[in-house]
Amino acid sequence: MEAVRFENVKFLYREDGDYAVNGVTLTVGEGEFVAVLGRNGSCKSTLAKLINALLVPSEGKVTVFGMDTSDEKKTFEIRKNAGMVFQNPDNQTVASIVEDDIAFGPENIGVPREEIGRRIDFALDAVGMQAFRHMTPSRLSGGQKQRIAIAGVLAVLPKIMILDESTAMLDPKGRREVMDVIKKLNKERGMTVILITHFMEEALEADRAVVMHRGEVVMDASPEEIFSRAEELEAYNLTLPRAAYISKKLAEGGMPVKGAFNAEALAEEICASLQKA
């Protein structure tokens, strides 16, 4: 089933300004893991906010499980289905204690008390943060804070999880933690994931990558395919993941290596071609 559908969507921040989103048509299937790539300022975040009705298109239509985001009566239902984690780990928690913060979403949608307790257990378990239930978020690391934010979204039991540059402010360890959690949610629970990012390496974890440039979708394919079109990527001011760059340079030097996107594949390729030589 279709989780999200954009139909020729345009969006303006100001009447006299340029289109931030300029005619995007896109569908995301249920259970899919889609990475949205693009330079800073390519309006990837605007795209994200159009999904859960934080923004409403100026032209065109966005639907979430068939519900139109411009229909105000549906806003609540849409947000229940499409949860969102933001960029800054410090700006999304409302409470000073982890469990109280996770309870915030379920409280808002009127979940009974006992059920909220169960959902907190479930959400903390899903992000591997059971031990931090009674801690203060401000004392946690960036990666841990983002996992709490994910748990807060999970407790509402959404079908779609949107991550709006949620790894941009984290250190590599935090980024890995968050990516592991997201991958698990997608693989084990069939969660639809829309990951907005400018880290090319992260896109490799997705089933599909969409490249945004100046408010338009310019590439839409599997990450492997996208990274094999290096010249095109360069035109959109994006760079290859480092391993892909190395394998490309090796191939240019005449070595018979196929495109490799991570260190493991790269080592494999180098090894194979050295043995062939």
Partner 1 sequence: MRIVAKGLTYTYNPKSPFASQALKGVDIVIEEGEFFGIIGHTGSGKSTFVQHLNALIRLTGGSLTVGDYDLADKKCKFLELRSKVGMVFQYPEYQLFAETVEKDVMFGLKNFHKEMKEEEMRTAVREALERVDLNYEEVKDKSPFELSGGQRRRVAIAGVIVTRPEILILDEPAAGLDPLGKKEIMQLLHAIHGSWCKTVIIVSHDMDEISENCTRAAVFSEGKVVMEDTPAAIFCRSDELVSLGLDIPVTAKCARLLKERGIEVQTDFTCDDFIGRVLALWKERGKADAQ
Partner 2 sequence: MLNDVTFGQYYPTRSFVHNMDPRAKIVFMIAYIVAIFVADNFLALAAVTLFLIVAVLFSRVPFGRVLRSVKMILFLILFTAVLNLFFYSSGGEEHMIWQWKFLSLSWESVVNMIFLALRLFLLVMGTSVLTLTTTPVALTDGIESLLTPLKWIRVPVHELALIMSIALRFIPTLMDETNRIVAAQKARGADFESGGLIKRAKAVVPILIPLLVSAFRRAEDLGDAMDARCYSGAKGRTKYKKLVFTWRDLLGLLLLGALIAGVVLFNIYFGGKFGIIDYFMQ
List residues near partner 1 by CB under 8 A.
39-41, 141-142, 168-169, 171-173, 198, 200, 237-239, 242-243, 245-246, 249-250, 253-255, 262-264, 266-267, 270-271, 273-274, 277
The CA–CA distances, whole Å, from 11 to 6, 35, 56, 115 equal 12, 21, 8, 39
Total residues contacting partner 2 by CB under 8 A comes to 43
- What amino acid occupies position 2? E
Cα(46)–Cα(44) distance, rounded to whole angstroms? 5
Among 42, 63, 93, 192, binds partner 2 (CB under 8 A): 93
152 binds, among partner 2, partner 1, none (CB under 5 to 8 A by kind): partner 2
The token duo for 157 is 């039991």
The CA–CA distances, whole Å, from 23 to 20, 53, 58, 79 equal 10, 17, 10, 23
Distance of CA 100 to the CA centre of its chain: 25
Residue 10 · residue 22 · CB < 8 Å? yes
What is residue 138's DSSP assignment?
Answer: G
**144 backbone dihedrals φ, ψ, rounded to 5°:** -65, -40
Nearer to partner 1, 26 or 246 (CB): 246
Which helix (H) or strand (E) segment holds residue 213: the answer is strand 208-213
151 binds partner 2 (CB under 8 A): no
What is residue 99's DSSP assignment?
Answer: H
Span 101-120, contacts to partner 2 by CB under 8 A: 103-113, 116-117, 120
225 binds, among partner 2, partner 1, none (CB under 5 to 8 A by kind): none
Nearer to partner 1, 150 or 233 (CB): 233
Among 8, 136, 237, 239, binds partner 2 (CB under 8 A): 136
Q: How many other CB atoms sit within 10 Å of the CB of residue 159? A: 18
Nearer to partner 1, 46 or 52 (CB): 46
Among 63, 92, 197, 247, binds partner 2 (CB under 8 A): 92
Which residues in this chain contact partner 2 in the complex, by CB under 8 A? 49, 52, 54, 76, 79-80, 83-84, 86-88, 90-97, 99-100, 103-113, 116-117, 120, 136-139, 149, 152-153, 156
